[in-house]
Structure 1
Amino acid sequence: MITEISNEELFGITKRQIKLKIIKMLQIALDNKSEKIAALRDNDVELENYAVAYSTLNAIHTAFNKPEGEQYELGCMNERCFTRLKKAGVSSRCISNLEFYKKLSVGTLHDSVNISPIMAKVTENGLEVKLSLSADGYCCEIEGITEQQSTAHIIKAKVTTNAEQIST
Structure 2
Amino acid sequence: MEERFWPFYVASNGDGEHMKDLSFSLRDLICGVLFIFIGLFFAIQAYGLEVGTALRMGPGYFPFVLAGVLILLGIIVVIQGTQLQHEPMGPIAWRGMLFILPAPILFGLTVRGLGFVPSLFLTGLVAAFASTKMRPGTALLLVGGLTLFSVIVFSYALGLPFRRFGPWLGQ
Greater strand content: 1
The answer to whether the superposition gives a TM-score over 0.5 is no
Higher RCO (CA < 8 A, seq sep 6+)? 1
Q: Which has the larger radius of gyration?
A: 2
Considering fraction of residues, name the structure with more helix: 2
